[in-house]
Structure 1
Amino acid sequence: MNCSTHVVTTEGCRAQCQQVQVGEHQLHLQHLEPSELRGDNPLTLVFLHEGLGSIEMWKQFPAQLCVATGCKGIVYDRYGYGFSTPVTLPRPLDYLEIEGLQRVPALLDSLDLSNVVLIGHSDGGSIALLAATVAQGRVKAVITEAAHVFVEGMTLEGIEDAVQAYATTALPEKLARYHGEHTDNVFHAWCDTWLNPEFRAWNIEAHLSKIQCPLLVMQGVQDEYGSEQQVQSIAHNSSGIAQIAMIDNCGHVPHHQATETVFNAMRDFIRQL
């Protein structure tokens, strides 16, 4: 990836990579700008990846959504991931709160963004919800896919399965395509935190009442990391109008496993804002 030049990621959308200093860390960003923007002050879609994710793991989905909605986009490697500053282990057990309550608002400040929709997958969904509680004026809406607001037994079982796969399959090599020499740190920052016995009490439901913007809450019916109780809690405890989309024949990664359904739902939701 060449961060000094413009590249075309999808028809009708240009992308430019950038390293941005946010607090003590360098974050690797991709700016997306469709050829046709909607309105004089278009929304910016900010994509927050999963617990082992990166910019590249989103593939073409963000650029295509920006084109369909006429919105600008920001996709970035969070602290510890991809081409951003590597994480220091052990990661604090409140890392999701740190990301959502501190780092996302700091990033919006750094980029002078005031009209955003946060789109978060898994860990990124939890972070998006937290960020919306402290950036109400700037966050116009939140879209979550497979977000967690409390710890479930099935989540821990899924992570234990991932630990086994990391030890016995080509999973490390696959993740190294996105995280390079920092892959072990990325993986252990995720699994060691979630499997820490002290983390089982983690719960952000008390924060949700501070969310006043509209929400689109999405999850696969067959999600191996979380139940529909996560979705119901987000919708019930938030103060904004929440639309629920449970997607059948879909696991933990809806934007790849049920792309058309997810894309259409997000597009329509954003167009209504």
Structure 2
Amino acid sequence: MSSAKWTNAPGARLTADRKSLEYACYGPPPGEAPTIVMLHEGLGCVTLWRDMPQKLADATGFGVCVYSRAGYGASDPADMPRPLDYMTREAEDSLGVVLDAIGFQHGILLGHSDGATIATIYAGSISDQRVRGLILIAPHFFTEASGLAAIRTAGEAYASGDLKARLAKYHSDPDIAFKGWHDAWTDPGFEAWNVADAIDHLRIPVLAIQGRDDAYGTLAQVTEIEERIYSPIETAILDDCGHAPQIDQPQATMAAITEFCERLERLEREEVKIA
């Protein structure tokens, strides 16, 4: 049952897993069109999606909902320290509540980085027939030495550079936003983290978008999807592109997403002929 208005008015809030979360909606509400729910990266939030949600709504005709997970943006602080399985907990404890709150009826989960992992875990472990497809931007399912090195470098920039000041523009508590992500990934116990088995249980179409120059994850993450998935998979591997394809290659990223949504919607509308 819906408990949150379909609105992009400043200050809109919904509650999930005992936390008050900021959110914003664009385009038609559920019931009038499919819905894309966007899940941000490990240092992201509603504001850091910039104008992408509105552009997606305009380009696809779908409704689009974005929200900041606990600890990010203007949402309630997260409980610290974050557990090493925080992405699994987000998928199992919070995401479904958010979908119910906005009145989600059918559509797509679009995740970036941590958000892509959370979307995959949800679709692979929760029986929710409302989710008809996944769009995974720079997903990760296991740790890589190069990615962990990049996160440690980010930690140095946060401690002695201007990263904290830049994050403070977008997060009510930049320490919680940054340390909740950084400290989990750099914990020695996290090196063995692997949630790729969630891919085995996907039964919906997937679009994976990856930059060739992504410092936080290599093409091995996309190869893992291709080798394990039993449902249709499309990939967009982008040159001259790092960890944020929507910023580094916005036109190619938007084109891939729009085409995927159009194909998925055509399949949804096709009549099933019974012999």
Normalising by structure 2, we get a TM-score of: 0.90
Q: Distance in 2 between matches of 1:116 and 1:243?
A: 17
How far does residue 207 in structure 1 lie from its aligned partner after superposition?
Answer: 1.6
Do the aligned partners of 1:149 and 1:234 also contact (CA within 8 Å) in 2? no
Which position in structure 2 is the counterpart of 1:11? none
Q: Specify the alignment match of 1:162 in structure 2.
A: 154
Give secondary structure in 1 for the equivalent of 2:9. Answer: strand
Specify which of 167, 174, 185 is matched with residue 175 of structure 1. Answer: 167
Q: For the aligned residues, what is the CA RMSD? A: 1.8
Q: Check whether the contact 2:132–2:204 (CA below 8 A) recurs between aligned residues.
A: yes
Match of 2:15 in 1: 21
After TM superposition, give the deviation of residue 151 of structure 1 in Å: 0.6
- Segments of 5+ residues of structure 2 without an aligned counterpart are 265-275
Counterpart of 2:136, as a letter, is: T
CA distance in 2 between partners of 1:92 and 1:65 (Å):
33
TM-score computed with the length of structure 1 as normaliser: 0.90
How far is the alpha carbon of 1:135 from its aligned partner?
Answer: 4.0
Deviation at 1:108, TM superposition (A): 1.1
Deviations 1:124-168 (A, max 9, x none): 010111111214401110001111000110110000110111122
Residue in 2 aligned with 1:51? 42
- Tell me the CA shift for residue 190 of structure 1: 0.6
Q: Which amino acid aligns with 1:66?
A: A
Other-structure match for 2:130: 138
Rounded Cα–Cα distance in structure 2 between residues aligned with 1:122 and 1:23: 22
Identity of aligned residues (%): 34
User: What is the CA distance between 1:209 and its match in structure 2?
Assistant: 1.3
- Write the letter of the residue equivalent to 1:75: V
Q: Does the aligned pair in 2 maintain the 1:100–1:127 contact within 8 Å?
A: yes
Q: Distance in 1 between matches of 2:39 and 2:47?
A: 12
Shift of 1:237: 1.5
Matched, 1:260 2:251: yes
Aligned structure 1 segments of 4 or more residues deviating by more than 6 angstroms? none
Query: Could you list the runs of 5+ residues in structure 1 that have no partner in the other structure?
Result: 7-13
In the alignment, which residue of structure 2 is the partner of 1:9?
A: none
Q: Contact 1:15–1:33 at 8 Å: present in 2 too?
A: no
Residue in structure 2 matched with residue 147 of structure 1 by the alignment: 139
Does the 8 Å contact 2:53/2:64 carry over to 1? Answer: yes
Distance in 1, matches of 2:127 and 2:61, equals: 23
What pairs up with 1:190-205 in 2 under 5 angstroms? Answer: 190-205=181-196
